[in-house]
Amino acid sequence: MSTPVILCVDDERIVLHGLREQLGRAFGNEYSVEIAQSGEEALELVDELVKAGTAVPIVIADQLMPGMKGHELLINIHKSSAKTFKILLTGQVEVNAIGEAVNHANLYRFISKPWDGTDLVLTVKEAMRSFFMDQKVEEQNEMLKKYNEELEQMVDERTHQLAQEKEKSEQLLLSIFPEETAEELKNKGFSSPRHYDNVSVLFTDFKGFSKIAMSVTPDKLVQELDECFSAFDEIIEKHNLERIKTIGDSYMCAGGIPTPNSTNAVDAVTVAKEMYAWLDNWNKNSGNDHAWEMRIGIHTGALVAGVIGKKKFAYDLWGDAVNVASRLVSNGEEGKINISADTYNLVKEKYPCIYRGEIATKNRGNIAMYFVE
């Protein structure tokens, strides 16, 4: 780092040598004392020093010089080096000149000629102390500004991250729970169970799943099952059904919850038809050396829906309607939609059905069943 410069300007060489000698004795090698015999020469020197990155803490200029006067020089220096402390030497008080220097050059002090050596050295020392103190404050302010900008950036980034995390959490809630239930959990911290009189429960399962599981790698098995269930998710979303859960190769969803409606039975049969259509197309185009065959059972009835668990929440359904739907899928046939009499009575105007009779079921007795044509 270059040595800071004290610049002395006077048209009399003997005065300049006196200033240089006096300041040199006072400050030694701590500062460099440069001299100029005119305002024009001083401006050129200051311009060179500023461009070179050399600090010019103090300029001491005589007022009465040929050409550019002292106060005019200080005003010009102020334009290129505003932080420099300016001292004006004058043999006689020129009020107007001093006023100009104060207003337009931020004059630090004027000293009358002949000057007192001790007073001059003390003035320079005090000006130097102020210059470097100002410089230090400016550096600290710059560091503080930079720190604040970095802190603001960190806060903005963290706020953005929190917003993203919140959005992910909300999306995760919506992927696990119906929207109405998710909102209740967010707002209350719990969800109250609700009774529904008319809900259509749909179950699917795959024929020969264990055999398929033995013939492919675990990764391949999960990938294919995920493709099926992801497609089913998209289908039920179109028709206002909610996925409840998957159990192994079985997929369970329901219509008429959490918002009751009168179309859930028809919606469930429509979903079942689209599931079969998707599966048929997938089997033809997947390139697998095995086909996935599926059964679907649907029953419409009363049940209770709600959230269970304290650490791991789960949205689930309870009631005889769930048990009947489960029996319907287990007593169904591949490629067919097996529905109960309750569901049949709600869909028969839209979907023709074939009565199968009363089928004996495990732990539930005989159940009247229909195949949707």
* CATH 3.90.1150.10 correct for 5-140: no
User: Nearest 5°: CA angle at 83, between 79 and 87?
Assistant: 90
Domain segments of the chain: what residues?
5-140, 189-372
Q: What pLDDT, on a 0 to 100 scale, did the predictor assign at position 169? A: 64
Q: What pLDDT, on a 0 to 100 scale, did the predictor assign at position 164? A: 79
Split at pLDDT 50, 70, 90, the class of 138 is confident
Q: Which of 199, 201, 209, 207 is nearest to 336 (CA)?
A: 207
Q: Is residue 224 predicted with pLDDT exceeding 90? A: yes
pLDDT (average), residues 242-263 = 93
Q: What pLDDT, on a 0 to 100 scale, did the predictor assign at position 167? A: 73
Render pLDDT for 305-325 as a digit per residue (tens, 0 to 9).
Answer: 887 666 667 778 899 999 999
Render pLDDT for 91-106 as a digit per residue (tens, 0 to 9).
Answer: 776 788 888 888 998 8
- Integer Rg of the chain from CA: 45
CB 335 within 8 A of CB 300: no
Q: Is residue 43 predicted with pLDDT exceeding 90? A: yes
How far is 342 from 323, CA to CA, in rounded Å?
14
Report the SS3 class of residue 189. Answer: coil
How far is 370 from 373, CA to CA, in rounded Å?
9
Within its chain, how far is the Cα of 92 from the centroid?
67
Pick the CATH number of 189-372 from 3.40.630.30, 3.40.50.1100, 3.30.70.1230, 3.20.20.150: 3.30.70.1230
Q: Is residue 176 predicted with pLDDT exceeding 80? A: no
- State which H helix or E strand residue 17 sits in: helix 13-27
Q: Is residue 174 predicted with pLDDT exceeding 60? A: no
Render pLDDT for 139-171 as a digit per residue (tens, 0 to 9).
Answer: 888 888 899 888 889 888 888 888 777 777 666
What are residue 121's phi and psi, to 5 degrees?
Answer: -65, -45
End-to-end CA distance of the chain: 92
Q: What pLDDT, on a 0 to 100 scale, did the predictor assign at position 184? A: 63
CA-CA-CA-CA torsion sign (227, 203, 322, 329):
negative
Split at pLDDT 50, 70, 90, the class of 276 is very high
Q: What pLDDT, on a 0 to 100 scale, did the predictor assign at position 162? A: 81
